[in-house]
């Protein structure tokens, strides 16, 4: 958990190389911005992900590669645009999805 640590800047594309043992990635309450790199989908052993910052752009379709993901929170202050990628339907273990106030439109696949 890296919540509320006053982190600034953007998520680097190297995020996908954080290791296959990482099961939780939480960066709520920071001041991160920019787009969410597509390499985030390489974190395919994640069980929980909490993003909440000033991210812009669309959600990468690579989220669908995170088949072990059970809890995804992209709510609050996430200024995303576009629709929910159809690859979300590949996240077969997803039990909790929180997307309030995130700017996305359309239906959940």
Partner residues linked to 54 by β-bridges: 33
Q: How far, in Å, CA of 89 to CA of 9, rounded?
A: 30
State the residue for tokens 């929170």: 73
pLDDT at residue 62, as a whole number: 93
The answer to whether the CB of 86 falls within 8 A of the CB of 108 is no
The tens-digit pLDDT sequence of the chain (109 residues) is 899 899 999 999 999 998 788 999 999 989 899 999 999 999 989 999 999 888 889 999 999 999 999 999 998 756 888 888 899 899 999 999 998 888 888 888 8
**Sheet with 31-35: strands ordered across:** 8-10, 31-35, 54-56
Give the span between the Cα atoms of 69 and 12, in whole angstroms: 21
The burial class, CB within 10 Å (0-12 / 13-18 / 19+), for 7 is: middle
């Amino acid at each position: 958990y890296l919540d509320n640590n006053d982190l600034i800047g953007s998520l680097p594309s190297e995020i996908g190389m954080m290791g296959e043992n990482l099961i939780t990635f939480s960066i709520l309450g920071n001041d991160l911005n920019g787009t969410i790199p597509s390499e985030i989908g390489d974190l395919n052993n994640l069980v929980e992900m909490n993003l909440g910052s000033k991210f812009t752009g669309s959600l990468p379709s690579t989220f669908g590669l995170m088949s072990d993901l059970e809890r995804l929170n992209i709510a609050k202050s996430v200024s995303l645009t576009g629709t929910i990628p159809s690859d979300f339907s590949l996240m077969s273990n997803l039990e909790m999805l929180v997307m309030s106030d995130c700017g996305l439109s359309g239906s959940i696949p």
